[in-house]
Structure 1
Amino acid sequence: MNGTDTAPVCSGCGAELQTLDAARPGYVPASALTRSPAVCQRCFRIKNYNEAATVAVDQDDYLRLLGGIAATRSLVVHIVDVFDFEGSLIGGLGRFVGNNPVLLAVNKVDLLPKAVNLNRIRNWVQQQAKLAGIRTVDVILFSAKRGLGMDKLIDAIERQRSGRDVYVVGATNAGKSTMINRLIRDYSDLDNEVTVSRYPGTTLGEIRIPLEDGASIVDTPGIVYPSRLTELVPRRILGALMPEKPIKPLVYQLNSGQTLFFGALARLDFAEGERQSFTVYAGAGVKVHRTKLERADALYEEHRGELLTPPTRDELADLPAWTRHSLRVPAGAAKDVYISGLGWIAVNGSGGALLDVHAPKGVKVLLRDALI
């Protein structure tokens, strides 16, 4: 399909059918186009295998979709990734959902170091959401992949929705589809409902999954935020950036004038400050290399994509050039240097520091209150 006005639409969700991109709404293998009625791959999987697949839309389309939620009477469940919190948080969500309550579901807590205090994490999330202007009725920490905390999430949804529809919103790679799949298995009446009825929806790929009381779980597409490194790198190295097991922090004692490289994806320069420790929270596939600041530029030019990986030298050509972010850590403050999609670096010293962070242009880099 080429996306023309005459293209057929999915009889399940109403999305315009296309055969070019499995990550976009309405995807159908070319071999399935002759089926009648024509159904997109995501609807087919939900109906036949109780399995939802992630699709993605750009920000403008997604914001139009969000704007329609304000006119509904529903509960909004916002899935965020604790490993990439700021990168997966939908900014200004309250403007789009109106008076509908927002339940913040924080996924992938199984990736945090085992000794972490989850109550502290929950308090941190509440504070960060408040700073972002998101008013929440509850915050639930869970792992969709491991099933941890899913019972609490389901209880919170039932307690807060009061018979209303449930809109599930979130960014790509936040684990939304995995959570939806668990809700389908544990919470919906698919055998009695879905197999005999079409999935009402929109051309953006919204899908309604019926519940026993007549309401629905509304699965929306994942929003693409190009400010995350995971949206920019080649698909091959996503596994290196996105941890599968609990993060093992790496501690470095640095003097001013030293640099940490994170593969060839980013670097942190300790420009000014007393000797102090920096704790790196990143995926095990990201190789951290320490050097002197005075040698950093030459080292990058000579060894990027080889000693400094991922990515390879050939793959670097597809990434934007680096830009520099200067961050000043106040004395006595517990702060994280956050690089969206890569992880964060906790600054552990009490004497303050001036840091320069280099990352591909457009990637979100900021200083935040320490998560751990």
Structure 2
Amino acid sequence: MDNQEELRCIGCGAVIQSTDPEKAGYTPQSAIKKGMANDELYCQRCFRLRHYNEIAPVSLSDDDFLRLLSQIRDTKALIVYVVDIFDLNGSLIPGLHRFVGDNPVLLVGNKEDILPRSLHRTRLTDWMRQQVNQAGIRPIATTLVSAKKNHQIEHLLDLIEKYRQNRDVYVVGVTNVGKSTLINQIIALRTGVKDLITTSRFPGTTLDKIEIPLDDGHQLIDTPGIIHEHQMAHVLPAKDLKLVSPQKELKPKTYQLDDSQTIFLGGLGRFDYLNGPHAGFVAYFDNNLKLHRTKLANADHFYQKHLGDLLTPPSKDELDKIPALKRYEFTTEHKSDLVFEGLGWITVPAKVTVAGWAPDGVSVLLRRAMI
């Protein structure tokens, strides 16, 4: 296959090869010929993902992703940094400021369509900017989009044109933030070609950088998603990923609680009201995630007894795949959101003490209320 060394899958960017079915880019020789004839060359993994929603693991390491990112430092480019506003801390690329160098960063919050309409968008973008500031990134602009609903994509393109100043554009983000969906929308708006790049809920769909030509000879480059092991998406089995990738606007659920009460978030998290007056708490999670209220004194026993049946996910045959829940305690100074990264949040009143539990490695944090 020497003469086909540089053929690449248009779905994930992997170099096409027909020798090792276990490695990225594998495509049977007959499919290569057919794909070249039709000008639609997909690797077998992308073909199965697109047509049958099957995912096949490939042997790519974090080092492979970081090697690709490190190339950005030596170029002059605009960096479009895509984060999931549903899982901001899980969207942060560790050490990104080292890979960016002196290049400007445009921060893009995706999945805006699932947020309740009552949520303050300006307050959200301010919080996003503060969070990435703490990670060493100073964005030149921050904007919200919905790649899935094609919302604000034209505005994003205007911002890209404003700030790229005759440079290449690198689109970066961790897995599962909707980056490839965003790229597909950009391609569709500019060329009319739909769903060129492989997308799915499965982390790590793009395997190598994908280069899309711009009008002035420069390129828009889609990089592979960095694996962030502390995302809720990496804790869940594939069939439950929909719970961390909501498809519809979140519908709030209000609970009137006395202290010493607990709400379980399926088997993936837990909220304890430890100290304060009778008050209302509003939960914002995927509409299909089942929430269960019980007494705090009974909560540990309830969890052990019902995990895998009443409290799902996980199901009974997947209990060993979910890390043990870790506890985080907070006392609020003002109305706040207790955020379970990648899952949702509960809005709590001022001057109360609460605890949040999430699988070990997944963040629980407190922010000023967004609604």
TM range (shorter): 0.7 to 0.9
Which residue number in structure 2 is paired with residue 167 of structure 1? 170
The more displaced of 72-81 and 118-127 is 118-127
What is the distance in 2 between the residues matched to 1:176 and 1:342? 19
2-structure distance, mates of 1:261, 1:354: 14
* Post-superposition offset of 1:230: 1.3
- Aligned residue for 1:199? none
Matched with 2:86 is 83
Aligned residue identity for 2:353: A
Aligned length: 341
Separation (CA, whole Å) in 2 of partners of 1:60 and 1:296 = 42
- Distance, in Å, in 1 between the alignment partners of 2:300 and 2:35 is 59
Within-5 A mapping of 1:81-160 = 81-160=84-163
Structure-1 separation of matches of 2:294 and 2:219? 55
Q: Does residue 353 of the first structure (1) align with residue 353 of the second (2)? A: yes
DSSP-derived class of the 2:87 partner: helix
- 1:300 equivalenced with 2:299 (yes/no): no
Residues 103-156 of structure 1: CA deviation (Å, up to 9, x unaligned): 111111111112223223222222222233211111111111111101110000
CA distance in 1, matches of 2:111, 2:216: 30
Question: Which stretch shows the higher mean deviation, 241-250 or 287-296?
Answer: 241-250
Equivalent position of 2:7 in the other structure: 11
> What is the rounded CA distance, in whole Å, between the counterparts of 1:27 and 1:273 in structure 2?
59
1:242 corresponds to which residue?
245
**Counterpart-to-counterpart distance in 2, 1:134 and 1:307:** 42
Report how far residue 36 of structure 1 moved.
Answer: 9.1
Specify the alignment match of 1:221 in structure 2.
224
- Report the alpha carbon displacement of residue 246 of structure 1 after superposing the two structures with TM: 0.6
Q: Which runs of 5+ in 1 are unaligned?
A: 1-5, 46-52, 191-202
Deviation at 1:16, TM superposition (A): 7.0
Q: CA offset at residue 158 of structure 1? A: 0.7
Rounded to whole Å, the distance in 1 between the matches of 2:341 and 2:5 is: 35
Contact 1:74 1:101 in 2 (8 A): yes
Deviations 1:58-91 (A, max 9, x none): 5433233222201001010011111111111224
Q: Distance in 2 between matches of 1:178 and 1:333?
A: 37
Q: TM-score, normalised by structure 1?
A: 0.82
Contact 2:262 2:271 in 1 (8 A): yes
Q: Distance in 2 between matches of 1:213 and 1:183?
A: 16
SS of the residue corresponding to residue 223 of structure 1 reads coil
Amino acid corresponding to residue 174 of structure 1 in structure 2: V
Cα 1:115–1:272 shift into 2, 3 Å: closer
**CA distance, structure 1, for counterparts of residue 46 and residue 295 of structure 2:** 55
Query: 1:325 matched to which residue of 2?
Result: 327
Return the offset for 1:100.
0.5
Q: TM-score, normalised by structure 2?
A: 0.82
Specify the alignment match of 1:344 in structure 2. Answer: 345
Aligned residue for 1:363? 362
CA distance in 2, matches of 1:248, 1:72: 44
